[in-house]
Amino acid sequence: MKNRFAGFQPVRRDRLLQESRHDPYQAKRKLPEPTVCPDCGAVFHGGRWQWLTASADAHKASCPACQRQRERMPAGYVSISGDFFNGHREELLQLIQNEEKHAKTAGPLKRILGITDENGGVLVTTTDIHLARTIGDALHRAYQGELEYHYNEQEHLLRVAWQR
């Protein structure tokens, strides 16, 4: 008689499954629609944050970008250095601000938190890892140079280094 469980692998249920990506600023539950951020005015509608006009009876909750800004916890760091930067500082900063302006119109969670001078260059901090990558790619596309990415999956953090 043939065993009906032959080739059957039992499912173990005693393991802790890890999330594939963990962003501590992502909502733990779906927000009611519409929800408006009282700080920046972004509206959560259709499952994402958008630039819309909110109704007067909309729920209120801070968006992830405003939470990061309030707690000073960037998701992206872009380090810019080198002799080329010193000679073209204003031009490079204008490029960075143009990239933020373009990204911010597409999605309100993509913002620059700050631009600070550091060791003969600047450090740009962003609320979104994708904006940090976009800035690094734009610098490399426009001026070549050396570009490096370091992604920390546990902290959902991207460090970009560009120099020329």
- Which three-class secondary structure string do you get for 78-110? EEEECHHHHHCHHHHHHHHHHHHHHHHHHCCCC
Question: What local confidence, expressed as pLDDT, does residue 69 receive?
Answer: 96
Q: Identify the bridge partners of residue 152 per DSSP, sorted by sequence position.
A: 157
Higher per-residue confidence, 146 vs 14: 146
**Mean pLDDT value across residues 126-154:** 95
Least confident span in 9-13, 108-112, 149-153? 9-13
Question: What local confidence, expressed as pLDDT, does residue 5 receive?
Answer: 54
Question: What local confidence, expressed as pLDDT, does residue 153 receive?
Answer: 83
| Six-digit token string for 141 | 């596309």
For 32-56, letters b (16+ CB in 10 Å) and e give eebbbbeebebbbbeeebeebebee
Question: What local confidence, expressed as pLDDT, does residue 25 receive?
Answer: 80
Question: What local confidence, expressed as pLDDT, does residue 29 receive?
Answer: 80
> 3-state class of 22 per DSSP?
coil
- What is the distance between the alpha carbons of residues 15 and 99, in angstroms, rounded to a whole number? 43
| Six-digit token string for 96 | 């960075």
Question: What local confidence, expressed as pLDDT, does residue 54 receive?
Answer: 86
Pairing of strands 121-126, 146-152: unpaired
pLDDT tops 70 at residue 16? no
Question: What local confidence, expressed as pLDDT, does residue 85 receive?
Answer: 93
Question: What local confidence, expressed as pLDDT, does residue 45 receive?
Answer: 92
pLDDT tops 80 at residue 13? no
- What is the distance between the alpha carbons of residues 141 and 157, in angstroms, rounded to a whole number? 23
